[in-house]
Amino acid sequence: MTKHFKEIERLRKIIEAFPKVTITVLGDLVADEFVFGEISRVSREAPVLILKHRERSVVPGGGANAVNNLADLGVNVLPVGAIGDDEPGKLLLKYFRHKRIPISGVLKDKSYSTVTKTRILAGMTHNSRQQVVRLDREPENPPSQHLTRELFLAAREYLRASDALLVSDYGYGSATPALVNALRQPGRKKSVSLPLILDSRYRLLEYSGATAATPNEPEVEAALGIRIAQDWDKLTSAAQQVIERMKLQSLLITRGRDGMVAFDQGHTPVDIPIFGSDEIADVTGAGDTVIAAFSAALGAGATTEEAAQLANYAGGIVVMKRGTATVSREELLHALEQAPPCTRPH
């Protein structure tokens, strides 16, 4: 039996175990809105295109996209987050209900507005669509103290039935270091012992004691105030600093077209080239797909390297799709058949 065959069989068993895994997602739930207009003409009022409205869709984004990806991977997912009493929030709830995702932890509050990112796309009927502009609608204030308390209670309840906790912090207040620390206080044995996988856009180093984190390279550079570029030594040094400061067991740094690198305490870093083509169609939400696959694999008992390989397959698949997209278990299994897992030597 060859090494590749053994690796593929092991990864296949991990994927097949996803339906037995339950993951709580504490995150900033975002509505990703896509509005498509067909190019009509140039306006007389200003040098801008006039678009004739053709389509509109609203799909889960941010932490809600991580939830959606876990659901499509077959994982039992329990989302916890805040939305407003508005149309985008209602559409997110409708989307989750359609996929049979539990919504008791998705808290609707009249004083809060659902984070909504509207992307205006332009093109001709049979041509590819190009994003023209993005409009972000964000709540004026973070969740209230009362709402934060309710988020804590909902997450604590879900964790009793979970195999892992995924934290998706986009900076809007549903997922914070203080809230995560409260969930991990001594005495809550179940929550403390669970794998905790973190994705934090702006305050990576404010979290401590997580099991793993999945930042992209620019986020690591911003957190440490450095520039890595293509310097392998700088990358490994930066990773070690992050691991030590956050007290992580493992770290997965995504690098766009350069793939990703997995760091595990006591092991040699694993440099994984991107799966598939580097002619990327759309990176929207790719980080959510990566952390979803990585968390699902860890929840199913994978090692850091095995989880990173599956996250790499998932990332390579999703960036070939337009818009905010997901990856299914079937697609992951098919990717395994296409190419065995590989690494780059250093």
The pLDDT score that the predictor gives to residue 133 is: 93
The pLDDT score that the predictor gives to residue 323 is: 80
Q: Which domain holds residue 14?
A: 3-30+60-115+139-338
**122 part of a folded domain:** no
The pLDDT score that the predictor gives to residue 283 is: 80
Confidence class for position 191, pLDDT limits 50, 70, 90: very low
The pLDDT score that the predictor gives to residue 115 is: 97
167 DSSP β-pair partners: 26, 198
C-alpha dist (Å) from residue 99 to 11, 76, 80, 251, 336: 26, 11, 16, 31, 26
Give the residue carrying structure tokens 């992209």. Answer: 216
Number of domains in the chain: 1
**125 part of a folded domain:** no
Contact 73/318 with Cβ under 8 angstroms? no
Confidence class for position 187, pLDDT limits 50, 70, 90: low
The pLDDT score that the predictor gives to residue 186 is: 58
Quick check: 153 pLDDT over 90? yes
- Using a cut of 0.85, tell me whether the model's pTM lies above it: yes
Which range has the worst mean pLDDT, 67-81, 98-112, 270-284? 270-284
In tens, the pLDDT along 284-298 reads: 788 999 999 999 999
**291 part of a folded domain:** yes
151/105 Cα distance (integer angstroms): 7
In tens, the pLDDT along 307-316 reads: 999 999 999 9
**127 part of a folded domain:** no
Q: Which residue in 209, 108, 107, 105 sits closest to 161, CA to CA?
A: 105
286-299 and 63-72 helices, crossing angle to 10°: 50
In tens, the pLDDT along 4-33 reads: 788 899 999 999 999 999 999 999 999 999
**316 part of a folded domain:** yes
140/149 Cα distance (integer angstroms): 19
Q: What is the mean pLDDT of the chain?
A: 92
The pLDDT score that the predictor gives to residue 4 is: 75
**84 part of a folded domain:** yes
46/200 Cα distance (integer angstroms): 39
For residue 288, the domain's CATH number is 3.40.1190.20
**Beta 115-123 vs 29-42: how paired, if at all?**
parallel
Strands annotated E in the chain: 22-27, 29-42, 49-62, 76-84, 106-109, 115-123, 130-137, 164-169, 196-200, 212-213, 250-254, 260-264, 270-272
C-alpha dist (Å) from residue 181 to 23, 164, 209: 18, 15, 9
C-alpha dist (Å) from residue 308 to 59, 84, 240, 246, 290: 26, 35, 17, 19, 9
Average pLDDT on 148-154 reads 96
**13 part of a folded domain:** yes
Average pLDDT on 108-125 reads 92
**36 part of a folded domain:** no
Confidence class for position 281, pLDDT limits 50, 70, 90: low
Which range has the worst mean pLDDT, 63-67, 104-108, 146-150, 285-289? 285-289
Catalytic residues: 288
